[in-house]
Structure 1
Amino acid sequence: MNLGRAGSALLALTLSLGLAGCEVTNDVGGSTVSGSDSKAKAYSGQSATKVLDTLSVKGRSANTGYDRDQFGTAWKDVDHNGCDTRNDILKRDLTGEKFRDGTKECVVVSGTLEDRYTGETIKFTKEKASLVQIDHLVALQNAWVTGASQWTEEKRTELANDPLNLMAADGSSNSSKGAGDAATWLPPNKAFRCDYVARQIAVKAKYGNWVTKGEKSAMSGVLEGCPDQKVPTAKDAESSAGADSSSGDAGSDNGGDVETPGAFCSDEGAKAEDSDGDTLTCSVKGDDDRARWRSAN
Structure 2
Amino acid sequence: MKVLITGKNGQLGWELVNRASTDDVDVYAFASDELDITDSLSVQEKFSAVQPDVVINTAAYTAVDRAESDSENAFLVNEQGAINLAQACKKFNARLLHVSTDFVFDGTKHSPYLTTDTPNPLGVYGASKLAGERGIQNVLPEAVIVRTAWVYSSHGNNFVKTMLRLMQEKPQLGVVSDQIGTPTYAAGLADWLWQISSNSRVQGLYHWTDAGVASWYDFAVAIQELALEKGMLEKEIPVRPIYAAQYPTPAKRPAFSVIDKTGAENDSGLQTTHWRKQLSNMLDKLANV
TM-score scaled by length of structure 2? 0.24
The structure where helix makes up a greater share of residues is 2
Q: Report the structure number with the largest CA radius of gyration.
A: 1
- Structure 1 length as normaliser, TM-score? 0.23
Q: Which has the higher contact order (CA 8 A, sep 6+)?
A: 2
